[in-house]
Amino acid sequence: MESGTIVKWHKKEGDGIASGDVLCDVQTDKAVVGMETDEEGVMAKIIKEAGSTNVVQETIAIIATGDEDWKEVAANADALLASWGGAAPPAASAPPPTANPPAAAATPEPQP
């Protein structure tokens, strides 16, 4: 799918979410597709409302998981999006770059 438009949300903020739930319907150039989640938790914040277009590879909602307070997650949605670059959460955790990179190994002086 290269582009899509959110047609309808099936969940609203504060609703419980289970793995396999359809969160919303997205209209593509070929069909209307139900967007399922593999997360469990509570719908904290809907980022892209119905009618939003070109939602492929974009964060459309934030789900609070585990012991997270969904209202607190919703209140911090802008900061979360900024930390993700405004588009999508990172696919995998990479170690952050260190402030002081390791020094290059010293090259031994040539011996005569």
**Averaged pLDDT, 29-33:** 92
In this predicted structure, what is the pLDDT of residue 19? Answer: 95
pTM over 0.75: no
53-109 pLDDT, tens digit each = 887 788 899 999 999 999 999 998 888 888 887 644 444 333 333 333 344 444 445
Q: Band the pLDDT of 112: cuts 50, 70, 90.
A: low
How far apart, in Å, are the Cα atoms of 92 and each of 25, 48, 88, 96? 26, 23, 11, 12
Nearest to 45 by CA among 30, 64, 69, 62: 62
Among 2.40.50.100, 1.20.58.340, 3.40.50.10800, 3.90.79.10, what is the CATH number of 5-83? 2.40.50.100
In this predicted structure, what is the pLDDT of residue 54? Answer: 81
Q: What's the token pair of residue 80? A: 């979360």
- Secondary structure class of 26 (helix, strand, coil): strand
- Residue environment code for 44-59, b if the CB has 16+ CB neighbours within 10 A, otherwise e: bbbbbeeebeebeeeb
In which region does residue 87 sit, left (phi positive, over 0), alpha (psi from -120 to 50) or beta (all else)? Answer: alpha
Per the CB < 8 A criterion, the answer to whether 8 and 26 are in contact is no
